[in-house]
Amino acid sequence: MNYWLIKSEPEDFSIEDLANAPNRTEHWDGVRNYQARNFMRDDMKIGDRVFFYHSNCKPPGIVGLCEVASAPYPDHTAFDANCKYFDPKSNPEEPRWVMVDMKFLRRLKRMIPLQEIKQHSDALDGFALIRRGNRLSIMPVSKEHWDFLLSLE
């Protein structure tokens, strides 16, 4: 099993939105970074555990848990000229972008804010979220870091 952290701005899509989705499952669309796409396409597997992180808000932090609920498949939003994620260089025959479905598992007992996460830089050495300059919306989490972050809950 792999472990991940996915970021979403709560005004666009929150942990509550995922919890309230039909079957508590929703596609994770709009990823337009090649490295993040490659994580989804090549490394995410059904059943992988995922931290749901609210970003670009006050305060940002880990708010819940979900799991990968599908294999990767073409991101249809790339083909829709009326969608903010439209990519004219992508097409259904040769899709450039993929998405996976995420299934809500639970909210954390309390949010783990980024500021608190940064205070544990020794225990979280190498954790991509606190690495300078890292702005990826999807990032791998080691089992050691996963367990430590859950212990903060």
- pLDDT confidence tier of residue 92, bands split at 50, 70 and 90: confident
Return the SS3 of 36: helix
Dist CA 83 CA 64 (whole Å): 27
CATH code of the domain covering residue 140: 3.10.590.10
**What does the block give as tokens for 22?**
């039909």
Dist CA 88 CA 73 (whole Å): 18
Domain that holds residue 8: 3-152
96-132 confidence digits (pLDDT tens): 999 999 999 999 999 999 999 999 999 999 999 998 8
Give the count of domains, the chain. 1
Mean pLDDT calculated for residue range 124-153: 93
The residue among 72, 66, 55, 63 whose CA lies nearest residue 7 is 55
**pLDDT higher than 90, residue 86:** no
33-78 confidence digits (pLDDT tens): 999 999 999 999 999 999 999 999 999 999 999 999 999 999 999 9
1-44 confidence digits (pLDDT tens): 999 999 999 999 999 999 999 999 999 998 999 999 999 999 99
**pLDDT higher than 90, residue 88:** no
pLDDT at 117: 97
Dist CA 51 CA 64 (whole Å): 6
CB 21 within 8 A of CB 104: yes
pTM listed for this prediction: 0.94
pLDDT at 133: 79
pLDDT at 150: 97
pLDDT at 153: 94
Dist CA 92 CA 139 (whole Å): 26
